[in-house]
Amino acid sequence: MRTAEVKRRFLAHFEAAGHRVAAGAPLPADDPTLLFVNAGMVPFKPYLLGQRTPPGPRMTSVQKCVRTLDIDEVGKTTRHGTFFQMNGNFSFGDYFKEEAIALAWDLVVKPVADGGYGLDADRIWATVYRDDDEAYALWRDRIGLPEARIVRRGKADNFWSMGVPGPCGPCSELFYDRGPAYGRDGGPEVDEDRFLEFWNLVFMQYERGEGSGKEDYPVLGELPSRNIDTGMGLERMAVLLQGVDNLYEIDETRPVLDAAAELTGTAYRTEPDTDVRLRVIADHVRTALMMIGDGVTPANEGRGYVLRRILRRAVRGVRQLGYEDPALPHLLPVARDCMAPSYPELATDFERIASYAYGEEDAFRGTLRQGSALLGRALSGTSGPLPAGTAFRLHDTYGFPIDLTVEIAAERGLDVDVDGFRRLMAEQRRKARQDARAKKTGHADTGLYRSLLDAGGPTDWLAHDTLTAEATVLAVLRDGGPVDAAGESEIVTVVLDRTPFYAESGGQDSDAGTLRGTGFAAEVLDVQRPVKGLITHQVRITGGEIATGLRAHAEVDPEWRLGARQAHSGTHIVHAALRAALGPGAVQSGSYNRPGYLRLDFSWQGTLPDAARGEIEETANLAIRRDLPVEVRRMPLARARELGALALFGETYDDVVRVVEIGGAWSRELCGGTHVDHAAQVGSITLTGESSVGSGRRRVEAVTGLESFRYLARERDLVTEVAARLNAPRDRLPERVANLVEKLKEAERVNRLLRDQVAVAEAGIAAAQAEDAGGVRFAHAHTDAPPRRLAELIVDRLPERRPGVAAVTSPSGFVVAANQAAQDAGVSAGELVKTVLDGRGGGNARLAQGRPPGDASAALTVLARLLAASTDR
């Protein structure tokens, strides 16, 4: 049974039992505590915690998940994978243990012909929490499972919590006996390879208190409403139904493994090390496909770094098996074909996905060449741990990941000072972020915002309907905590019960405007949504005192909003024009717009042709001239996808979404921003820049509306000024500038020749004046030009058969060169520079350089003494 069919049967079974089928959430978690969704229940946490009302009392889903804590175990065991799928059914205060157990058992043992999985009931074991007599009795009496196959286990194994105070409860797990070929008999407590866990039923009925670990916390009492959270591992069920040994061999993974084996000329199930690498490759290629499919792109931070690490581990695994050429173009399409039956969007969006993956591999192959050589030299020169500074330099300067440094060092039996590396990274991040959050309202703990949301309910958000609103001040926050009031000149965060201000999101900057009330006035600096449903306003109080409970008149600056609407609609127009010029693979991956300005990031390899840039700008302005209609509609997410509405990758959308159309299907996107009523209101769009923002990712920048006219006016004034200075008609400027450039190039060529002639003369003089230093001809000079060229010229003019060393000082550096005879006699330019400059320089035996010495004369004297004291002539 194919994995896609396992998924289909699960959803059909629970839908028939009255469950509402929920679409799986994207992998990037809509949760500040997680990078990725790592369990099937994560999207349902607000319902399970009582923070939001679920759309129905029974729900079911198949959720994509990523866990990387065990990434080093991938391939070594048969149970660890970075990407997996969790089938879940959930009850929010509806059914409880008896029906949850019955529903699971029915699907598992129901014959295949009747829509079930057809597992042998005599090979299924159940575990329950040690004190859960109710679950034990249900398995024994309701299901008919023999007591010998019902195992009581402790808190660490069969009691669930989220690791923090909140809901918790006993759980019951199902295991399948795969037979004696997989290990010892005796049930899951004896061997969990033979007895493979495939389903976990969590009975959420208690509240836990503070504590640590899986067992050290108190259970405080019953929850007011009991919930069910169950999860069936899709890959594990596929392992059982397909009769394979492990998750790397199911239909969604094994073809990638086989393709990697064929590509590298190896064979699976021959050598343990080879098997591990093939499994890593198969797992990581599939995981990367799913991550990029959900909008994650390679980066040096956060989710992007996890993706980068996974891609690079896959590429390195292929290289370790002997294949040096690009491998992902051979492997990623295989993973796509494996996963498309369950996720057809991977096929339709493959061009974008591949552009990021292939670009990352190309960049990493260059990194490997450079970084591996540097790391190899560093490791060959040490017998202890690799210093943190070396690991940090490899990461910071050459993009060599620390995990790869650790892996390569471990292969040579060496450690890396990882703690020191992390301290250096933390310091770098601290400096980089020191001022980055000054504008935002993220100083307060999200728990405070959630308590405000619980107390006052969600903010009545009116940004799409009006520019003004009468509101009540619900809270005033300063330095991360609530205060009763704040006075003139203070900058504080204000929470209102209703607001017309647009909160920064979807690439659109927040509104500007004012808050006024009896006895106070404030300028709105920033508007944010720190938790879903709550809007906060960062304000500067310009007069009086603002306090909790006061009434306020909130007013958006109409000119600001008009400019914001022009820029946001302009972003959609530029996106549509990009796709028209470059094809459907040029998909937006990020954007930012504020009044008069927009930038849009999109997937693309290489620079844009000049003709394409002109075509994009012309297409965008033609859409404005045609005054395409702008229509905003709300509809179910499924309907929006059917219509082909584009979504920003990595965003999480509700079941009902807002679709913005410009010219109907010409531009149709999911968007929560503010927009013009028709395209002509944008005014005009002028592209001002195009650049790279990462591997396989480009950025265009543009100005809109009045800023577009101002930009063109400045360009006109600049051309007029240049024409006047060159005394040339405007239409002759390109020709006149080209002539000037040619003249400058010729002048530079002549200057270069003259400099070379001067350097040759100086080198001859210095070589002729060389002194004897312990049998070495020592010549030196000073120059205001870059010193390296002069040092090479001098040493080349010293007698070839006699050891010779040249030293050149300059304001920009200190260079030492040694001829071959000197090197043969044991003289090393690199060691000389390090000694003279106390380690602040280096190079090889032939040529070395460092910073300018504080006292050039003293440095040359020390160098001459070193040569005179040297032996082995």
**CA-CA distances (angstroms) from residue 731 to 650, 674, 722, 723, 739?**
48, 42, 12, 9, 14
Q: What is the pLDDT of residue 210?
A: 85
- Closest Cα to residue 546, out of 582, 492, 620? 492
110-121 mean pLDDT? 95
Same domain membership, residue 259 and residue 240? no
Question: Does residue 573 carry a pLDDT above 90?
Answer: yes
Same domain membership, residue 572 and residue 533? no
Q: Is the pLDDT higher at 5 or at 451?
A: 5
Query: Is the CB of residue 795 less than 8 Å from the CB of residue 835?
Result: no
Q: What is the pLDDT of residue 511?
A: 95
When pLDDT is cut at 50, 70 and 90, the band that residue 79 belongs to is low
How does pLDDT run across 583-629, given as a tens digit for each residue?
A: 877 878 889 999 999 999 987 877 888 888 899 999 999 999 999 99
Q: What is the pLDDT of residue 443?
A: 52
Q: What is the pLDDT of residue 654?
A: 77
- Give the C-alpha separation, 598 to 351, whole Å: 25
When pLDDT is cut at 50, 70 and 90, the band that residue 865 belongs to is confident
225-250 mean pLDDT? 93
Lowest mean pLDDT across 9-23, 51-65, 276-290, 443-457: 443-457
Same domain membership, residue 269 and residue 194? no
Q: Is residue 397 part of a domain?
A: no
- Strand 150-153 to 124-129 pairing: parallel
Q: What is the pLDDT of residue 595?
A: 95
Question: Does residue 526 carry a pLDDT above 90?
Answer: yes
- Closest Cα to residue 395, out of 315, 308, 324? 308
- Give the C-alpha separation, 626 to 663, whole Å: 9
Dig out the tokens for 384 from the structure: 């202890």
When pLDDT is cut at 50, 70 and 90, the band that residue 731 belongs to is confident
671-691 mean pLDDT? 94
Q: What is the DSSP letter of 803?
A: -
In this structure, what are the phi and psi dihedrals at residue 213, rounded to the nearest 5 degrees? 70, -170
Read off the CATH number of the domain in which 637 is found: 3.30.980.10
Q: Is the pLDDT higher at 701 or at 212?
A: 701
115-132 mean pLDDT? 95
Q: What is the largest CA-CA distance in the chain?
A: 106
Task: Check the CA dihedral 621-623-626-628 and report its sign.
Answer: negative
Q: What is the pLDDT of residue 209?
A: 87
Instruction: Quote the pTM value.
Output: 0.60
Binding-site residues for Zn(2+): 568, 572, 671, 675
Same domain membership, residue 178 and residue 86? yes
Same domain membership, residue 603 and residue 547? no
What is the three-class DSSP state of 385? Answer: coil
- 61 beta partners: 88
Same domain membership, residue 155 and residue 99? yes
- Closest Cα to residue 527, out of 513, 541, 538? 538
Same domain membership, residue 81 and residue 129? yes
Dig out the tokens for 797 from the structure: 């003019």
**CA-CA distances (angstroms) from residue 254 to 62, 271, 343, 667?**
21, 17, 18, 40
Q: What is the pLDDT of residue 503?
A: 95
Residues of 50-77 as b/e, b for ≥16 C-beta within 10 angstroms?
A: beeebeebbbbbbbbbbebeebeebbee
Tokens 């809270």 locate to 475
Q: Is residue 864 part of a domain?
A: yes
Q: What is the percent of the chain with per-residue pLDDT over 70, rounded to a whole number?
A: 95
How does pLDDT run across 174-207, given as a tens digit for each residue?
A: 999 999 999 999 999 999 889 999 999 999 999 8
- 668 beta partners: 661
How does pLDDT run across 452-511, given as a tens digit for each residue?
A: 998 888 999 999 999 999 999 999 999 888 999 999 999 999 999 999 999 999 889 999
In this structure, what are the phi and psi dihedrals at residue 490, rounded to the nearest 5 degrees? -75, 150
Query: Is the CB of residue 640 less than 8 Å from the CB of residue 657?
Result: yes
Dig out the tokens for 348 from the structure: 């339709």
Q: What is the pLDDT of residue 509?
A: 94
- Give the C-alpha separation, 321 to 264, whole Å: 6
- 779 beta partners: 806
What is the three-class DSSP state of 673? Answer: coil
Q: How many CA atoms lie within 13 A of 74 on its CB side?
A: 27
Same domain membership, residue 227 and residue 133? yes
Task: Check the CA dihedral 263-269-274-278 and report its sign.
Answer: positive
Q: Is residue 438 part of a domain?
A: no
Q: What is the percent of the chain with per-residue pLDDT over 90, rounded to a whole number?
A: 54
Q: Is residue 738 part of a domain?
A: no
How does pLDDT run across 209-225, given as a tens digit for each residue?
A: 888 777 888 888 888 88
Q: What is the pLDDT of residue 434?
A: 44
Q: Is the pLDDT higher at 776 or at 430?
A: 776
Q: Is residue 128 part of a domain?
A: yes
Q: What is the pLDDT of residue 437?
A: 40
Tell me what the pLDDT averaged over the chain comes to: 88
Binding-site residues: 568, 572, 671, 675
Same domain membership, residue 625 and residue 542? no
Of 683, 710, 737, the residue that ends a domain is: 710
Sequence letter at residue 51: Q
Dig out the tokens for 179 from the structure: 């037979």
Q: How far is CA 484 from the centre of its chain?
A: 40
DSSP string, 408-469: HHHHTT--B-HHHHHHHHHHHHHHHTTTTTSSSSTTS-HHHHHHHHHHH-S-EE-TTT-SEE
Question: Does residue 78 carry a pLDDT above 80?
Answer: no
Q: Which helix (H) or strand (E) holds 530?
A: strand 520-531
Q: Is residue 737 part of a domain?
A: no
Query: Is the CB of residue 6 less than 8 Å from the CB of residue 250?
Result: no
Question: Does residue 773 carry a pLDDT above 60?
Answer: yes
Lowest mean pLDDT across 340-349, 404-413, 537-546, 551-560: 404-413
Same domain membership, residue 841 and residue 787? yes
**Residues 748, 754, 759: CA angle, nearest 5 degrees:** 125
How does pLDDT run across 237-248, given as a tens digit for each residue?
A: 999 999 999 999
How does pLDDT run across 299-337, given as a tens digit for each residue?
A: 777 888 889 889 988 998 998 898 989 999 999 999 999
Dig out the tokens for 642 from the structure: 């059917």
Dig out the tokens for 31 from the structure: 């949760």
- Give the C-alpha separation, 468 to 554, whole Å: 6
Of 682, 710, 738, the residue that ends a domain is: 710
Same domain membership, residue 550 and residue 575? no
Question: Does residue 438 carry a pLDDT above 60?
Answer: no
Read off the CATH number of the domain in which 8 is found: 3.30.930.10
Q: What is the pLDDT of residue 433?
A: 47
Q: Is the pLDDT higher at 753 or at 539?
A: 539
Query: Is the CB of residue 321 less than 8 Å from the CB of residue 116?
Result: no
Stated length of the chain: 873
**Residues 361, 76, 183: CA angle, nearest 5 degrees:** 150
- Give the C-alpha separation, 187 to 172, whole Å: 14
Q: How many domains does the chain have?
A: 5
- Give the C-alpha separation, 332 to 310, whole Å: 13
Q: What is the pLDDT of residue 784?
A: 84
Of 556, 583, 615, the residue that ends a domain is: 556
**CA-CA distances (angstroms) from residue 613 to 436, 599, 701?**
32, 14, 11
Query: Is the CB of residue 825 less than 8 Å from the CB of residue 847?
Result: no
Same domain membership, residue 312 and residue 221? no
Dig out the tokens for 113 from the structure: 């012909």
**Residues 739, 744, 746: CA angle, nearest 5 degrees:** 95
Read off the CATH number of the domain in which 784 is found: 3.10.310.40
What is the three-class DSSP state of 529? Answer: strand
Q: What is the pLDDT of residue 872?
A: 46
Q: Is residue 701 part of a domain?
A: yes
What angle, rounded to 10 degrees, do the helices at 3-16 and 97-109 form?
140
What is the three-class DSSP state of 188? Answer: coil
Q: What is the pLDDT of residue 651?
A: 63
Q: What is the pLDDT of residue 649?
A: 59
Q: Which residue segment(s) compose the domain that 798 sits in?
A: 753-869
Q: Is residue 730 part of a domain?
A: no
Q: What is the pLDDT of residue 441?
A: 45
